[in-house]
Amino acid sequence: MLDTTPPATLTPPRGTPSGAIAAPRYRNPFSVLIKHRNFRIFWFGQTGSLIGTWMQQVALGWVVLELTNSPFLVGVEAAAGSLPVLLFTLFAGVLADRRDKLVLVRITQSLLLFEATLLWWFNWTGHVTIAILIGIALFGGTANAFDIPTRQALIIELVGRDDIVDAIALNSSGFNLARIIGPSFAAIIIDRLGLAWCFAANALSYLLVLLSLFVIRLPKKIIEATTLSPTEGFLEGIRFMRKSREVSLLVSLVTVYSIFGIPYLVLMPVIARNTLHGTAGTYGLLLASVGLGAVTGAFALAMIGRRVRRGRVHAAAAFSFSALLVAFSFSRNLWLSVALLFATGCTMILNNALANGLLQTITPDHLRGRVMSAYAFVFVGMAPVGSLLSGSVASALGAPAAIGIGGGVLMLFALWVFGKRPELRRL
């Protein structure tokens, strides 16, 4: 029988209210960077690479819209990048638990460098078509299916269990700092050099992350031999997640969040052009406002430490995020939309980082790769469902209606989870 007892480091000291988490060892949100050399190298490399990724994201959404003039095909292309995660990531978690995670991440990041190079080549030569873009998205999605759970499970090896929540919050801040900088750079490059060079910039950024990964030095880790087949290892992880009530609730919440919440980002080029009557620069501004809000939320999470019950913060963030999506769906003013997206980004990252951090802290080390693969499966792999669904609704009723309906569904599910299931509020 699998042990689902939370690690001893989660036990609050005497005098701490039941359900609360002990006072933080660090108030400075950057302390984890100062303390851990390997994580510092990893963070700077990842953040630099993600700037290129967001530049590519801006350019890709605009290229698809220009090629097809179809909100539905914008959703199809986004879904193609996530579909392989749905197919392969659960078994990728088994691989992550049985192999050197750092080596696996080096391989997957090299494959993503190749994806960015292909996008640059086809756009620069003028041979790009929607079929080619979907094919490249499937290739990149396959690399991500193995990269995401392995990279998430690697973080604890860089910082240790005590600092994992702060590291996840800071990692989220880097992701969203890139969300601010990347679209801004993309708008400049698109205006002066053309869309193709956003893909070239992303390819160059992968060289930065690969350099950082080869500089990281970890102690040799002995991975225990197992007689379980990959399928049996996969089923072992599923049994643990089903048995742990907290894990199953968190995974279900992330699933609904991925299907009905995240697609608002996929529809952002449609909102920028058709609803706000803007340009690629407007699209970049909207994404940058989401990123600025997300950075603010990530830093706030790292600073509050462990004095508050993170389950309660998660509940507040879930309700706020869904309400903000509904409000954004009614906005027809650029600057009101920017303000709403700032708040949306803040609550979005709180949902994401808290779900990730809580999952990692209540999961045993030998199962972490598989639990993180389940997290990637629902967070990224279920995105094709959300992208196709939102694209279909946007084609029939308009992008604002698709976003508002998604926010309403999220609100109802959050009311059920946090109102009827007290386990999460006690974390």
Lowest mean pLDDT segment, chosen from 31-35, 226-230, 253-257: 226-230
> What is the pLDDT at residue 425?
64
Mean pLDDT value of segment 146-166: 83
Mean pLDDT value of segment 133-146: 92
In the chain, % of residues over pLDDT 90: 21
- Rg value, the chain, Cα: 21
> What is the pLDDT at residue 222?
63
In the chain, % of residues over pLDDT 70: 88
Mean pLDDT value of segment 131-156: 90
Rounded Cα gap, residues 358 and 390, in angstroms = 29
pLDDT in tens, 44-80: 998 888 899 888 888 887 888 888 888 778 778 877 8
Question: Confidence band (pLDDT; 50, 70, 90) for 404?
Answer: very high
Mean pLDDT value of segment 118-125: 92
- Whether 426 has a pLDDT exceeding 50, the answer reads yes
What is the residue whose two structure tokens read 């990893």?
Answer: 42
What is the residue whose two structure tokens read 């494959």?
Answer: 111
pLDDT in tens, 405-417: 999 999 998 888 8
In the structure encoding, which two tokens stand for residue 368, read together? 């972490």
User: How far is residue 381 CA from its own chain's centroid?
Assistant: 11
CA atoms within 13 A on the CB side of 358: 30
pLDDT in tens, 313-342: 888 888 999 999 999 999 999 999 999 999
Answer yes or no: are the C-beta atoms of 112 and 143 closer than 8 Å.
yes
> What is the pLDDT at residue 132?
92
